Amino acid sequence: MARRYTSPLTSADVTPKGLYLNRRQIMAGAAGILGAGLIGGGARAQEAQAPNTFEEITTYNNFYEFGTGKNDPARNAHMLTTEPWSIEIDGMVDNPGTYMLADILSEMTIEERIYRLRCVEAWSMVVPWNGFELNDLLDLAGVQDGAQYVAFETALRPDEMPGVSRPIIDWPYREGLRIDEARHPLTLMATGIYGEPIPNQNGAPVRLVVPWKYGFKSIKSIVRITLQEEQPVTAWNSYDPREYGFYSNVNPNVDHPRWSQATERRIGGGLFARRQPTLMFNGYEDEVASLYEGMDLSVQF
């Protein structure tokens, strides 16, 4: 496998792993990052707090560019060349251009964030990510007045991605956020998991993580970011807008047309584990509900 860039120092580099996990949880709690989602959400939320194992997080994946089976990305994603890596930042920005990821990283603060991940398919995990706030990257690019949305694109490399020979979605994988969602402090660009460089199957070398939205919004292996006035065309929304809304905020009260979204299966919980209730905005309601004030979330879902 091609070697990736080495990520900047984190506490994992200077602290034995057991201590570092504890300290990281404390640090994250102190920063108020986990909020109601993981720390203050009472017994039920606590239950969901223990992160999944590295093994679980890296062997049960959705990354259709490498196949549709949950284990296909782990088997095939080593084919993706992740270094060097650049991101095209264009549209309504003061500093458009091709940015080398290594140069971006030299300007960013890498943080550790333990977030829930809730897939639209009704399974979930808790992942300890390392990454930087998308907001900081947007500041680097200089967002112009009038930019109302951010569009993202995954790399499209038929030679390295066996899954794209099948027209499952209209490749490349595309996603988008409203500008206030993109600038929200919870919105992360992840470059690591458990203090290790992010594995290819999880979206190396850099992927989006929007913890209050269904997992498909968290687009992997990003090569292009565009600031624009209009709502971006996105992969799953164009595939079927009735099943996959542009917003796709986690919402236990709005079912997918083909299944309930009221509960979820926690990966690693074992065969006989009870399904757990899905939380509004995936447990991040206190942090993000204000973004959607005045919207009918069953219509704009």
Choice between 7 and 218, CB closer to ligand MTE: 218
For position 232 contacting ligand MTE by CB under 6 A, the verdict is no
Strand partners, 154: 222
Rounded-to-integer distance, Cα 39 and Cα 32, Å:
9
Can you give the length of the chain in residues?
301
Give least dist CB 146 to ligand MTE, A: 28
For position 202 contacting ligand MTE by CB under 6 A, the verdict is yes
Size of the site for ligand MTE (CB under 6 A): 17
Choice between 110 and 119, CB closer to ligand MTE: 119
- Tell me which of 7, 10, 62, 248 binds ligand MTE, using CB under 6 A: 62
Helix (H) or strand (E) holding 193: strand 188-193
Stretch of residues binding ligand MTE (CB under 6 A), selected from 61-69, 91-99, 143-151, 290-298: 61-69
- Residue 6 DSSP label: P
Site for ligand MTE in 124-153 (CB under 6 A): none
For position 119 contacting ligand MTE by CB under 6 A, the verdict is yes
Choice between 125 and 141, CB closer to ligand MTE: 125
Rounded-to-integer distance, Cα 189 and Cα 7, Å:
13
- Tell me which of 187, 218, 234, 251 binds ligand MTE, using CB under 6 A: 218
Rounded-to-integer distance, Cα 160 and Cα 158, Å:
5
For position 65 contacting ligand MTE by CB under 6 A, the verdict is yes
Choice between 64 and 92, CB closer to ligand MTE: 64
x/- string (CB under 6 A) for ligand MTE, residues 167-196?
Answer: ------x-----------------------
Strand partners, 104: none
- Tell me which of 195, 215, 232, 245 binds ligand MTE, using CB under 6 A: 215
Contacts of 58 (CB under 8 A, 6+ apart): 74, 193, 199, 201, 202
Choice between 62 and 249, CB closer to ligand MTE: 62
For position 61 contacting ligand MTE by CB under 6 A, the verdict is yes
Contacts of 227 (CB under 8 A, 6+ apart): 89, 90, 91, 92, 93, 138, 141, 143, 144, 147, 149, 150, 151, 179
- Tell me which of 5, 64, 129, 149 binds ligand MTE, using CB under 6 A: 64
Helix (H) or strand (E) holding 107: helix 101-107
Backbone angles phi, psi at 207, to 5 degrees: -140, 160
Ranked by CB distance to ligand MTE, the top (closest) residue is 215
For position 219 contacting ligand MTE by CB under 6 A, the verdict is yes
DSSP secondary structure of 113-177: EEEEEE-TTSEEEEEEEEEEEHHHHHHHH-BPTT--EEEEEE---TTT-GGGGS-SSSSSPEEEE
- Which residue is it, tokens 């009221």? 262
Residues that bind ligand MTE (CB under 6 A): 61-65, 117, 119, 154, 173, 202-203, 215-216, 218-221
